[in-house]
A and B are shown apart, each in its own frame.
Chain A
Protein backbone atom coordinates (compact mmCIF):
# COMPACT_ATOMS: atom_id res chain seq x y z
CA UNK A 1 0.00 0.00 0.00
CA UNK A 2 1.59 3.18 -1.10
CA UNK A 3 -0.22 6.27 0.13
CA UNK A 4 1.21 9.67 -0.28
CA UNK A 5 -0.01 12.23 2.23
CA UNK A 6 0.98 15.72 1.31
CA UNK A 7 2.29 17.76 4.20
CA UNK A 8 1.61 21.39 3.52
CA UNK A 9 3.29 24.46 4.89
CA UNK A 10 0.22 25.07 7.00
CA UNK A 11 0.53 21.63 8.57
CA UNK A 12 4.08 22.42 9.60
CA UNK A 13 3.02 25.72 11.05
CA UNK A 14 0.18 24.21 13.02
CA UNK A 15 2.50 21.54 14.36
CA UNK A 16 5.11 24.09 15.41
CA UNK A 17 2.64 26.26 17.27
CA UNK A 18 0.98 23.24 18.82
CA UNK A 19 4.37 22.03 20.05
CA UNK A 20 4.99 25.45 21.60
CA UNK A 21 1.60 25.40 23.29
CA UNK A 22 2.14 21.87 24.56
CA UNK A 23 5.51 22.81 26.04
CA UNK A 24 3.99 25.78 27.85
CA UNK A 25 1.09 23.63 29.05
CA UNK A 26 3.34 20.95 30.46
CA UNK A 27 5.62 23.47 32.17
CA UNK A 28 2.66 25.30 33.64
CA UNK A 29 1.27 22.12 35.16
CA UNK A 30 4.23 22.11 37.51
CA UNK A 31 3.20 25.45 39.04
CA UNK A 32 1.25 25.21 42.27
CA UNK A 33 -2.20 26.73 42.26
CA UNK A 34 -4.21 27.92 45.26
CA UNK A 35 -7.40 26.32 44.01
CA UNK A 36 -7.09 22.91 42.34
CA UNK A 37 -7.93 23.17 38.67
CA UNK A 38 -7.58 26.93 38.37
CA UNK A 39 -4.54 27.74 36.30
CA UNK A 40 -3.48 30.81 34.31
CA UNK A 41 -3.76 28.77 31.13
CA UNK A 42 -0.62 30.26 29.62
CA UNK A 43 -0.84 27.97 26.59
CA UNK A 44 -3.85 30.01 25.53
CA UNK A 45 -1.48 32.83 24.72
CA UNK A 46 -0.39 30.76 21.74
CA UNK A 47 -4.01 30.11 20.83
CA UNK A 48 -4.71 33.85 20.92
CA UNK A 49 -1.71 34.77 18.80
CA UNK A 50 -2.54 32.10 16.27
CA UNK A 51 -6.20 33.13 16.17
CA UNK A 52 -5.41 36.69 15.26
CA UNK A 53 -2.66 35.84 12.80
CA UNK A 54 -3.91 32.74 11.02
CA UNK A 55 -7.62 32.41 11.77
CA UNK A 56 -10.04 30.35 13.78
CA UNK A 57 -9.49 26.97 12.13
CA UNK A 58 -5.79 27.22 12.81
CA UNK A 59 -6.42 28.17 16.44
CA UNK A 60 -8.83 25.25 16.82
CA UNK A 61 -6.21 22.82 15.58
CA UNK A 62 -3.52 24.21 17.86
CA UNK A 63 -5.83 24.29 20.88
CA UNK A 64 -7.22 20.79 20.49
CA UNK A 65 -3.84 19.29 19.65
CA UNK A 66 -2.51 20.91 22.79
CA UNK A 67 -5.31 19.43 24.92
CA UNK A 68 -4.88 15.90 23.58
CA UNK A 69 -1.10 15.76 23.35
CA UNK A 70 -0.66 17.63 26.61
CA UNK A 71 -2.89 15.16 28.41
CA UNK A 72 -0.97 12.25 26.88
CA UNK A 73 2.29 13.73 28.11
CA UNK A 74 0.98 14.50 31.57
CA UNK A 75 -0.74 11.15 31.90
CA UNK A 76 -4.23 12.56 32.25
CA UNK A 77 -5.65 11.33 28.93
CA UNK A 78 -9.24 10.08 29.30
CA UNK A 79 -9.34 11.07 32.96
CA UNK A 80 -11.82 13.54 34.47
CA UNK A 81 -9.13 16.19 34.11
CA UNK A 82 -9.03 15.55 30.39
CA UNK A 83 -12.80 15.89 30.07
CA UNK A 84 -12.70 19.18 31.90
CA UNK A 85 -9.78 20.43 29.85
CA UNK A 86 -11.46 19.42 26.60
CA UNK A 87 -14.81 20.95 27.47
CA UNK A 88 -13.09 24.18 28.47
CA UNK A 89 -11.13 24.28 25.24
CA UNK A 90 -14.24 23.62 23.14
CA UNK A 91 -16.21 26.32 24.95
CA UNK A 92 -13.46 28.90 24.55
CA UNK A 93 -13.07 28.02 20.87
CA UNK A 94 -16.81 28.44 20.42
CA UNK A 95 -16.68 31.86 22.03
CA UNK A 96 -13.83 32.80 19.69
CA UNK A 97 -15.92 31.67 16.73
CA UNK A 98 -18.83 33.83 17.92
CA UNK A 99 -16.59 36.85 18.30
CA UNK A 100 -14.95 36.29 14.93
CA UNK A 101 -17.17 38.68 12.91
CA UNK A 102 -16.39 41.41 15.44
CA UNK A 103 -12.69 40.81 15.71
CA UNK A 104 -11.71 43.25 12.98
CA UNK A 105 -12.87 46.53 14.46
CA UNK A 106 -14.83 46.08 17.64
CA UNK A 107 -12.94 43.53 19.67
CA UNK A 108 -9.22 43.14 20.21
CA UNK A 109 -7.15 40.43 21.84
CA UNK A 110 -8.23 41.52 25.31
CA UNK A 111 -11.94 41.03 24.78
CA UNK A 112 -11.48 37.69 23.06
CA UNK A 113 -9.13 36.52 25.78
CA UNK A 114 -11.41 37.53 28.65
CA UNK A 115 -14.54 36.08 27.10
CA UNK A 116 -12.80 32.86 26.08
CA UNK A 117 -11.30 32.54 29.54
CA UNK A 118 -14.65 33.03 31.28
CA UNK A 119 -16.38 30.60 28.88
CA UNK A 120 -13.60 28.08 29.45
CA UNK A 121 -13.83 28.15 33.20
CA UNK A 122 -17.63 28.21 33.33
CA UNK A 123 -17.87 25.27 30.93
CA UNK A 124 -15.51 23.36 33.21
CA UNK A 125 -17.69 24.18 36.21
CA UNK A 126 -20.82 23.03 34.43
CA UNK A 127 -19.20 19.78 33.28
CA UNK A 128 -17.90 19.20 36.81
CA UNK A 129 -21.40 19.82 38.14
CA UNK A 130 -22.95 17.50 35.57
CA UNK A 131 -20.50 14.60 35.81
CA UNK A 132 -18.43 14.74 38.97
CA UNK A 133 -20.06 16.72 41.76
CA UNK A 134 -23.83 16.77 41.13
CA UNK A 135 -24.48 18.89 44.19
CA UNK A 136 -25.80 22.39 43.88
CA UNK A 137 -23.18 23.51 46.37
CA UNK A 138 -20.57 23.50 43.66
CA UNK A 139 -22.31 26.42 42.00
CA UNK A 140 -21.26 28.52 44.97
CA UNK A 141 -17.85 28.63 43.29
CA UNK A 142 -19.25 30.57 40.32
CA UNK A 143 -18.36 34.13 41.42
CA UNK A 144 -14.85 33.02 42.42
CA UNK A 145 -14.26 31.23 39.13
CA UNK A 146 -15.61 34.04 36.99
CA UNK A 147 -13.27 36.46 38.78
CA UNK A 148 -10.36 34.11 38.18
CA UNK A 149 -11.40 33.81 34.54
CA UNK A 150 -11.45 37.58 34.06
CA UNK A 151 -8.15 38.02 35.84
CA UNK A 152 -6.26 35.35 33.93
CA UNK A 153 -7.94 36.37 30.68
CA UNK A 154 -6.52 39.86 31.16
CA UNK A 155 -3.16 38.47 32.20
CA UNK A 156 -2.87 36.32 29.08
CA UNK A 157 -4.12 39.17 26.89
CA UNK A 158 -1.40 41.49 28.17
CA UNK A 159 1.30 38.93 27.43
CA UNK A 160 -0.14 38.05 24.02
CA UNK A 161 -0.50 41.71 23.01
CA UNK A 162 3.08 42.37 24.03
CA UNK A 163 4.31 39.42 22.00
CA UNK A 164 2.28 40.41 18.97
CA UNK A 165 3.60 43.95 19.05
CA UNK A 166 7.15 42.69 19.14
CA UNK A 167 6.44 40.29 16.29
CA UNK A 168 4.89 43.09 14.25
CA UNK A 169 8.07 45.11 14.64
CA UNK A 170 10.42 42.37 13.55
CA UNK A 171 8.45 40.38 10.95
Chain B
Protein backbone atom coordinates (compact mmCIF):
# COMPACT_ATOMS: atom_id res chain seq x y z
CA UNK B 1 0.00 0.00 0.00
CA UNK B 2 1.41 3.33 -1.06
CA UNK B 3 1.20 5.91 1.67
CA UNK B 4 2.50 9.21 0.44
CA UNK B 5 2.38 12.30 2.62
CA UNK B 6 2.31 15.66 0.91
CA UNK B 7 3.84 18.89 2.18
CA UNK B 8 0.61 20.09 3.77
CA UNK B 9 0.18 16.75 5.52
CA UNK B 10 3.57 17.11 7.16
CA UNK B 11 2.86 20.69 8.17
CA UNK B 12 -0.40 19.69 9.82
CA UNK B 13 1.13 16.65 11.49
CA UNK B 14 4.14 18.51 12.88
CA UNK B 15 1.98 21.47 13.88
CA UNK B 16 -0.44 19.29 15.83
CA UNK B 17 2.41 17.39 17.46
CA UNK B 18 3.88 20.71 18.58
CA UNK B 19 0.52 21.60 20.10
CA UNK B 20 0.91 18.76 22.61
CA UNK B 21 3.84 20.13 24.65
CA UNK B 22 2.58 23.67 24.08
CA UNK B 23 -0.82 22.87 25.56
CA UNK B 24 0.91 20.97 28.35
CA UNK B 25 2.92 24.01 29.39
CA UNK B 26 -0.07 26.33 29.07
CA UNK B 27 -2.48 24.25 31.09
CA UNK B 28 -0.27 22.67 33.72
CA UNK B 29 -0.72 24.28 37.06
CA UNK B 30 2.28 25.37 39.05
CA UNK B 31 1.63 25.24 42.76
CA UNK B 32 2.83 28.16 44.70
CA UNK B 33 5.49 27.59 47.30
CA UNK B 34 4.02 27.01 50.73
CA UNK B 35 4.02 30.16 52.80
CA UNK B 36 2.64 28.96 56.13
CA UNK B 37 1.50 25.96 58.07
CA UNK B 38 -1.80 25.60 59.92
CA UNK B 39 -1.97 23.36 62.96
CA UNK B 40 -5.47 22.19 63.85
CA UNK B 41 -6.11 20.62 67.27
CA UNK B 42 -9.50 18.94 67.79
CA UNK B 43 -11.68 21.23 65.59
CA UNK B 44 -10.40 24.43 67.16
CA UNK B 45 -9.30 27.35 65.03
CA UNK B 46 -6.04 26.55 63.28
CA UNK B 47 -2.80 28.04 64.53
CA UNK B 48 -0.93 29.54 61.63
CA UNK B 49 2.83 29.86 61.54
CA UNK B 50 5.01 31.12 58.69
CA UNK B 51 7.15 28.44 57.14
CA UNK B 52 10.29 30.46 56.65
CA UNK B 53 11.22 30.70 60.34
CA UNK B 54 12.76 27.62 61.92
CA UNK B 55 11.03 26.70 65.14
CA UNK B 56 9.63 23.88 67.21
CA UNK B 57 6.00 24.14 68.25
CA UNK B 58 4.59 22.28 71.23
CA UNK B 59 0.98 21.20 70.78
CA UNK B 60 -1.03 19.58 73.56
CA UNK B 61 -3.97 17.41 72.72
CA UNK B 62 -5.95 14.37 73.79
CA UNK B 63 -3.13 11.87 74.20
CA UNK B 64 -0.43 14.30 75.25
CA UNK B 65 2.09 16.71 73.81
CA UNK B 66 3.34 16.65 70.20
CA UNK B 67 6.24 18.65 68.84
CA UNK B 68 5.99 20.00 65.30
CA UNK B 69 9.23 21.20 63.77
CA UNK B 70 9.60 23.77 61.00
CA UNK B 71 13.03 23.86 59.42
CA UNK B 72 14.28 25.01 56.00
CA UNK B 73 10.71 25.59 54.75
CA UNK B 74 9.76 22.02 55.59
CA UNK B 75 7.61 20.66 58.39
CA UNK B 76 7.37 17.37 60.27
CA UNK B 77 6.11 15.80 63.46
CA UNK B 78 9.19 15.60 65.63
CA UNK B 79 7.51 13.79 68.48
CA UNK B 80 4.02 12.45 69.06
CA UNK B 81 2.42 10.50 71.92
CA UNK B 82 0.38 8.27 69.62
CA UNK B 83 0.96 4.52 69.34
CA UNK B 84 1.43 3.99 65.60
CA UNK B 85 3.65 7.05 64.99
CA UNK B 86 2.43 7.25 61.39
CA UNK B 87 2.56 11.04 61.59
CA UNK B 88 6.23 10.94 62.56
CA UNK B 89 7.10 8.24 60.04
CA UNK B 90 5.68 10.27 57.15
CA UNK B 91 8.70 12.51 57.51
CA UNK B 92 9.30 15.95 56.05
CA UNK B 93 6.63 17.69 54.02
CA UNK B 94 7.33 20.66 51.79
CA UNK B 95 4.60 20.87 49.12
CA UNK B 96 1.68 23.22 49.45
CA UNK B 97 -1.62 21.47 50.02
CA UNK B 98 0.01 18.56 51.84
CA UNK B 99 -1.35 17.47 55.17
CA UNK B 100 0.06 15.46 58.05
CA UNK B 101 -2.47 14.04 60.44
CA UNK B 102 -2.20 12.33 63.77
CA UNK B 103 -5.63 10.82 64.00
CA UNK B 104 -5.56 9.26 67.49
CA UNK B 105 -4.34 12.55 68.88
CA UNK B 106 -6.63 14.68 66.67
CA UNK B 107 -3.82 16.93 65.47
CA UNK B 108 -3.29 17.86 61.85
CA UNK B 109 -0.80 20.08 60.07
CA UNK B 110 -1.45 21.46 56.60
CA UNK B 111 0.79 23.51 54.36
CA UNK B 112 -0.80 26.66 52.99
CA UNK B 113 0.06 28.71 49.97
CA UNK B 114 -1.36 31.68 48.17
CA UNK B 115 -2.37 29.64 45.11
CA UNK B 116 -4.38 26.47 45.55
CA UNK B 117 -2.95 23.37 43.93
CA UNK B 118 -5.12 21.05 41.88
CA UNK B 119 -3.73 17.57 42.31
CA UNK B 120 -5.98 15.12 40.57
CA UNK B 121 -8.69 14.70 37.97
CA UNK B 122 -10.90 11.72 37.32
CA UNK B 123 -14.28 10.91 35.90
**A interface residue numbers (CB < 8 A to B):** 35-36, 99, 102, 105-108, 110-111, 114-115, 118, 137-143, 146-147, 149-150, 154, 158, 161-162, 165
Whole-angstrom CA separation of A89 from B108 in the bound complex: 50
Among B7, B8, B16, which residue has its beta carbon within 8 angstroms of that of A149? B16
Closest residue of A by beta carbon distance from B7: A106
Q: Are A111 and B13 in touch, CB under 8 angstroms? A: yes
Q: Are A115 and B16 in touch, CB under 8 angstroms? A: yes
Binary interface encoding of chain B residues 1-20 relative to chain A, with 1 for a CB under 8 A from any of its CBs, else 0 = 11111111111110011011
Chain B residues contacting A138 (CB-CB under 8 Å) are 121
> Looking at the complex, which of B24-32, B34-42, B51-59, B97-105 is the stretch in contact with chain A?
B24-32
Binary interface encoding of chain B residues 51-95 relative to chain A, with 1 for a CB under 8 A from any of its CBs, else 0 = 000000000000000000000000000000000000000000000
Instruction: Using known A-B contacts A114-B16, A162-B1, determine if residue A142 contacts B9 with beta carbons closer than 8 Å.
Output: no
**B interface residue numbers (CB < 8 A to A):** 1-13, 16-17, 19-21, 23-24, 26-29, 118, 121, 123
Chain A residues contacting B7 (CB-CB under 8 Å) are 106
Q: Are A108 and B121 in touch, CB under 8 angstroms? A: no
Chain B residues contacting A161 (CB-CB under 8 Å) are 1, 3
Instruction: Using known A-B contacts A106-B8, A147-B20, determine if residue A158 contacts B3 with beta carbons closer than 8 Å.
Output: yes
Whole-angstrom CA separation of A147 from B8 in the bound complex: 19
Q: Nearest 6 pairs between A and B by C-beta?
A: A107-B8, A106-B8, A111-B9, A111-B12, A142-B23, A143-B24
A-B contact pairs, 21 of them (CB 8 A): A35-B123, A36-B123, A102-B8, A106-B6, A106-B7, A107-B8, A107-B12, A108-B4, A108-B6, A108-B8, A111-B12, A114-B9, A115-B16, A140-B27, A140-B28, A142-B24, A143-B21, A143-B27, A146-B16, A158-B3, A165-B2
Q: Are B121 and A110 in touch, CB under 8 angstroms? A: no
Closest residue of B by beta carbon distance from A35: B123
Whole-angstrom CA separation of A158 from B7 in the bound complex: 17
Question: From residue A119, how far is it (CB to closest CB) to chain B in Å?
Answer: 10
Whole-angstrom CA separation of A138 from B16 in the bound complex: 20
Question: From residue B19, how far is it (CB to closest CB) to chain A in Å?
Answer: 5
Closest residue of A by beta carbon distance from B25: A143
Instruction: Using known A-B contacts A36-B123, A137-B121, A165-B1, determine if residue A111 contacts B20 with beta carbons closer than 8 Å.
Output: no
Chain A residues contacting B9 (CB-CB under 8 Å) are 107-108, 110-111, 114
The CB with the most chain A CB atoms within 10 A, among B10, B12, B17, B23, is that of B12
Q: Are B6 and A105 in touch, CB under 8 angstroms? A: yes
Question: From residue A140, how far is it (CB to closest CB) to chain B in Å?
Answer: 5
Chain B residues contacting A35 (CB-CB under 8 Å) are 123
Chain B residues contacting A158 (CB-CB under 8 Å) are 3
